[in-house]
Structure 1
């Protein structure tokens, strides 16, 4: 018979040691926290605890490296996007404003900061294809064009020639030599719906009511409205059709010349390398028919070198060479 008292009772084998998990570690955090030994907190446990509270919100915790890496990536992307937005706004707006203000300050008697503000109101926050000419009416009113009788010069497809001419001699006044024409000459700008910034790149120009085209049409109309006395227009004699009724000069400026304020229109037809048209060109005959009643018409043919000679001698008194 088996004597059960003689049987040695062995304790059950110990369970394999538990892997270090979240609960013991968090308990350790609590124990250490209650004792006030915060400087001895297990950093790995704290990392997992924080991760549980802020990352997933679930009972399953992430490894510290996974959590910190994901958090850093998200924060990094957000930081980069914010930096790009701020940089683009500053980089694109400030150079245009600096150019505007610097050029404006060459004309004494104007509040250039106010003009910049009025200028921006025409296009900022708007669809860049929905800025009509009338949007610039307040700007024109803030810096109206002044008449310069017998000295006002217009051009079509000859901007480089005319600008070089007026740079050397101050005898004639073009739109680009006025305050508004000067501050915005050769610049590009636009806004975007929902944005308070000014942009100078990637602005759409193909749509009719883009901010740049609308400004120049409005400014050209206002400049032509104050034309008086003998008016000069420089056209390109190197092309077959020097007068284009669809150009700014043909569609806007010419139509604004009214008698008796405008006495005469003098066409200067400048040929560069080879003359392809003359004063008998059919397009110029169309121009005469478009010209308002009571305004006399004349046309002079010149080579580019002859035209440039008119401005080569600064000692010559102001007056036309044609």
Structure 2
């Protein structure tokens, strides 16, 4: 990244171009956002160390979700478990959830908030963090994907009672078994804690979308786990009200 620094030389103001390594900005953002969520500075510093240990100096292909276990042990999910809200293919609608009110999506949790919208990776035998095009290949192999995999697993394991899931009823497959929701969250719901999964199916026009074959598969999968299921179609224009009405 390039920044400009003003210097006074001979009474005139001169701008000097200063190169700021993106990794420093990345680490500064990590620390600043960690402190924003009221973690102690020493905890945030330790979190940054554990975070970097997960991927720095490693071939991205070798960074697995387990690399982030210590990080999530240090800063676990601790929101009220009944406020857990899963989602898939509805990132635009999840942003309508008011913080600290009815539900706590994964990005409103501490580590989720700190690393939301970031992509990162390392390289074998390098001490650097990369945040650009170097991390674009093999999307499901980059370290940030592994982070969100572990986040999804821990988030689902934390859930209890009646859990909400905000899904998209206007796509071909509302319940995609290849999504984070389908691959990691639904399988990790604990039937001894979770009694029911309530699907909020966002649609442009109400019809029979809850009868979609993929959702029937979701219902059957949950039934086998001993977890109840319900599905309700909600117009996209009404989703904000639904999500923020307790």
- Give the aligned CA root-mean-square deviation in angstroms: 2.0
Matches of 1:290 and 1:225, distance apart in 2: 16
Alignment of 1:21-170 (within 5 A): 91-110=21-40, 111-146=43-78, 148-167=80-99, 170=101
Q: Name the CA shift for 1:94/1:241 in 2 (closer, same or farther; >3 Å).
A: same
Q: CA deviation at 1:205?
A: 4.0
Q: How many residue pairs end up in the alignment?
A: 225
Q: Could you tell me how far 1:158 is from its partner in structure 2?
A: 0.2
1:182 matched to which residue of 2? 113
Separation of aligned partners in 1, 2:175 and 2:208:
10
Q: What per-residue deviation string (whole Å, max 9, x for no partner) do you get for residues 235-283 of structure 1?
A: 00111211101111011100111222001110000014x5686111111
Aligned residue in 1 for 2:199: 267
The CA deviation at 1:309 is 2.8
Deviations along 1:98-132, one digit per CA (max 9) or x if unpaired, are 11111111122342111111100000001122211
Aligned mates of 2:208, 2:142 — CA distance in 1: 33
Counterpart residue number, 2:210: 279
Give the superposition deviation at 1:180: 0.7
Looking at secondary structure, tell me which structure has more strand per residue.
2
Flag structure 2 segments of 5+ consecutive residues without an equivalent.
1-18
Secondary structure of 1:161's aligned partner: helix
CA distance in 2, matches of 1:188, 1:302: 32
How far apart are the structure 2 equivalents of 1:155 and 1:311? 12
Alignment TM-score, normalising by the size of structure 1: 0.66
Secondary structure of the residue that 2:60 maps to in structure 1? coil
Runs (5+) with no aligned partner, structure 1: 1-86, 313-317
Deviations 1:275-306 (A, max 9, x none): 68611111100001111532111110010111
Is 1:127–1:193's contact at 8 Å kept on the other side of the alignment? Answer: yes
Tell me how far apart the structure 1 counterparts of residues 39 and 112 of structure 2 sit (CA, whole Å). 16
Kindly state the Cα deviation for residue 92 of structure 1 after the two structures are TM-superposed: 1.8
- In the TM superposition, 1:187-206 aligns within 5 A as 187-202=118-133, 203-206=135-138
Does structure 1 conserve the Cα–Cα contact (< 8 Å) formed by 2:77 and 2:155? Answer: yes
- CA drift at 1:165: 2.2
Q: Displacement, 1:199? A: 1.3
**Larger RCO: 1 or 2 (CA < 8 Å, sep 6+):** 2
Which residue is 2:13 aligned to? none
Quote the residue 2:5 is aligned against: none
1:311 deviation in Å?
5.6
- In 1, the alpha carbon distance for the partners of 2:173 and 2:208 equals 7
Which one has a bigger Cα radius of gyration? Answer: 1
Q: Is the 8 A contact 2:196 2:228 kept in 1?
A: yes
Whether the aligned pair in 1 keeps the contact of 2:139 and 2:145 (CA below 8 Å) is: no
